[in-house]
């Protein structure tokens, strides 16, 4: 399978600080990858390198191109939705659509209008008349109407209400994504994207803390909930992480037989948020 992104020793320095510290990762075609990390972990610096917006050290190829050298050509196949939509406040919606249609050969006016039909944004609106959420809706409609091979989303639904956030991810799966496209998402709203992800990359202090598929999460990681009297027995099995909720102890295990754990208590697959907390707390490497 062809890799859309390949990074080897990717490093980004700001003075003496390494925002991204010699990381290696691959993103195959036809995958939806969540790049998850706390504030200051290096997510934005990695995205900027991928998009050709900053210099970097190491080897990085996006769709076979070096983003620093071939950014103009790369942007014909890559779309980016930032956490803050920057659109000219004086422009009317129809003007933005016409402009995009003229400069990007893969833009579909029909798709854009289809997305906008489910919003309160009209063609005659000026950007300055729109609320923050409506500006985000307009930006999403324009970008998702471009037939790109790689879509990079940085907090794409920030400022949107829950109804439109759910509709956005439904559209992303039903109307945009296919096996020829890849999507890279960074977000703090992990619960909202968990059901659409095929792969997880956790980044912490500029380094990769976890890189696996969602299938591997289901196969290799388990949470065990036990009453206090069984906590010591579970603890002796070397869990990756432990937390207490409502008086019950919850342990995270990796590569432990399910029947061993079921003899002690309730077993379930951890959600991404719980796995993230455990990893960021030093429970995984």
**203-246 pLDDT per residue, tens:** 999 999 999 999 999 999 999 999 999 999 999 999 999 999 88
Task: For residue 81, name the pLDDT band (cuts at 50, 70, 90).
Answer: confident
Q: Sketch the domain layout of the chain as residue ranges.
A: 3-205, 216-283
pLDDT at 254 > cutoff 90: yes
**CATH code 3.30.300 for 216-283:** no
pLDDT-above-70 percentage for the chain: 98
Q: What is the distance between the alpha carbons of residues 125 and 61, in angstroms, rounded to a whole number?
A: 40
pLDDT for position 172: 81
Partnered with residue 183 across adjacent β-strands are 32, 151
Q: What is the distance between the alpha carbons of residues 151 and 194, in angstroms, rounded to a whole number?
A: 17
**126-154 average pLDDT score:** 88
**What is each CA distance from 45 to 48, 55, 151, in whole angstroms?**
5, 10, 17
Mean residue pLDDT of the chain comes to: 90
Q: What is the distance between the alpha carbons of residues 136 and 142, in angstroms, rounded to a whole number?
A: 10
For residue range 20-60, list pLDDT tens digits in order: 999 999 999 999 999 999 988 999 999 999 999 999 999 99
E-assigned strands of the chain? 3-14, 17-28, 32-36, 57-62, 78-81, 150-154, 182-186, 199-204, 207-213, 221-226, 241-245, 248-254, 266-268
- Residue 240, classed as helix, strand or coil, is coil
Between 3.40.50.300, 3.30.413.10, 3.40.605.10, 1.10.1740.10, what CATH number should domain 3-205 receive?
A: 3.40.50.300
pLDDT at 285 > cutoff 50: no
Task: For residue 129, name the pLDDT band (cuts at 50, 70, 90).
Answer: very high
């Amino acid at each position: 399978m062809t890799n859309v992104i390949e990074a080897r020793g990717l490093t980004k320095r700001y003075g003496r600080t390494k925002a991204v510290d010699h990381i290696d990762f691959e993103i195959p075609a036809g995958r939806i990858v969540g790049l998850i990390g706390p504030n200051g972990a290096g997510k934005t610096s990695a995205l900027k390198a991928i998009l050709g917006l900053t210099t970097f050290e190491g080897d990085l190829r996006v769709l076979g191109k070096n983003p620093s050298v071939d950014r103009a050509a790369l942007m014909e196949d890559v779309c980016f939705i930032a956490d803050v939509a920057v659109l000219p406040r004086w422009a009317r919606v129809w003007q933005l659509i016409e402009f995009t249609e003229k400069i990007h050969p893969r833009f579909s006016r029909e798709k854009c209008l289809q997305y906008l039909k489910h919003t309160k944004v009209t063609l005659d609106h000026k950007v300055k008349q729109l609320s923050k959420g409506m500006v985000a809706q307009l930006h999403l409609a324009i970008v998702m109407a471009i037939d790109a091979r790689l879509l990079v989303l940085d907090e794409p639904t920030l400022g949107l209400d829950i109804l439109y956030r759910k509709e956005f991810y439904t559209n992303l799966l039903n109307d945009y994504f296919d096996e020829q496209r890849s999507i890279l998402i960074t977000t703090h709203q992990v619960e909202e994207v968990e059901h659409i992800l095929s792969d997880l990359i956790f980044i912490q202090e500029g380094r990769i803390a976890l890189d696996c598929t969602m299938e591997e999460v289901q196969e290799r990681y388990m949470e065990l909930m036990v009453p206090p009297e069984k906590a010591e027995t579970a603890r002796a099995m070397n869990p990756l992480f432990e937390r207490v909720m409502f008086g019950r102890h919850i342990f995270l295990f990796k590569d432990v037989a399910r029947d061993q754990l079921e003899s002690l208590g309730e077993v379930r697959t951890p959600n991404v948020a719980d796995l993230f907390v455990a990893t960021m707390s030093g429970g995984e490497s």
